[in-house]
Structure 1
Amino acid sequence: MARAATPAIKALLAAEIPHEVLRYHHDPQNESFGEEAVAELAGVDGVDPEQVFKTLVVALPKAGLAVAVLPVPFQLSLKAAAAALGVAKATMADRAAAERSSGYVIGGISPFGQRKQLPTVVDSSALRWDRVLCSAGKRGWDVALHPQDLIALTGAVIADIRTS
């Protein structure tokens, strides 16, 4: 097996999950990472903005960190994410804690290949698509795969966690 470019791609290869790596130009001055991915990938192979998912790290009081994966155009409902993960409350994780835990930088956090697999919730809208896109573990890199493979590899629960 060839050397994988990121831990996320390595995890997908090791699990033999069919996927496609999509690269796009990342402007180092841009900190709207999800919006940049949507702008760069929308229209490519019929990609709809709601197929492009962001990976957010949340803090669960007394339970540590968890991951929420949802479409870029939507905001995360912390209340819904907490309920899906079986806790009373969730807050956004501190940037440094998210990077330290995942092994990735903000804007490149992938749900795959994290240093420690965290409890994960994927927005139920993922099931609408034949494929979804999420970070491949590096800014400017996304991976396209079947949503069931995303769910299976991360051990995710499915819930409505988005809000407009």
Structure 2
Amino acid sequence: MRNIMKILKKKTLKILAKNAPFYKLRIVLFRMCGYSIGRNVYIAEDLIISEALDDVNNLIIGDRVAIGPKVTLVTFSNPNFSKIREYVKTEKGKIVIKDDVWIGAGAVILPNITIGEGAVIGANAVVTKDVEPYTIVAGVPARVIRKLKVENENSN
């Protein structure tokens, strides 16, 4: 019974967070769900986190990350009761979004993905593999568009 109440609480908080009118409120509510969210993060409206509700530590978001509207983060996916269950495997895994990442509107991030520091994910991209730091990816599936040239902060 305790576990059911915990799952219901998390599901309710996710619904409230997805529809919260202010981004700071969305962040507070998502943190209450147990997600690790860094400082100075922006989360736009309609973020979907598709997961097994009893999962913990399956989503880590670094500092200064910007997530556009209608982004979907998938940490758990399976065909449920479909006849194809025996032919496809259930996908389950952590998503790690490092510092200074920008994720465009409508992007989909699949399980077991790490998005490197300073990466940019184009709008409506479907990320199926890790993204290297300071790289722009876009498309379905997401492909490297180019590398970003970043000046060293310590240089004069």
Q: TM-score, normalised by structure 2?
A: 0.25
More helix by proportion, 1 or 2?
A: 1
Could you tell me the TM-score, scaled by structure 1's length? 0.24
Could you say which structure has the larger radius of gyration? 2
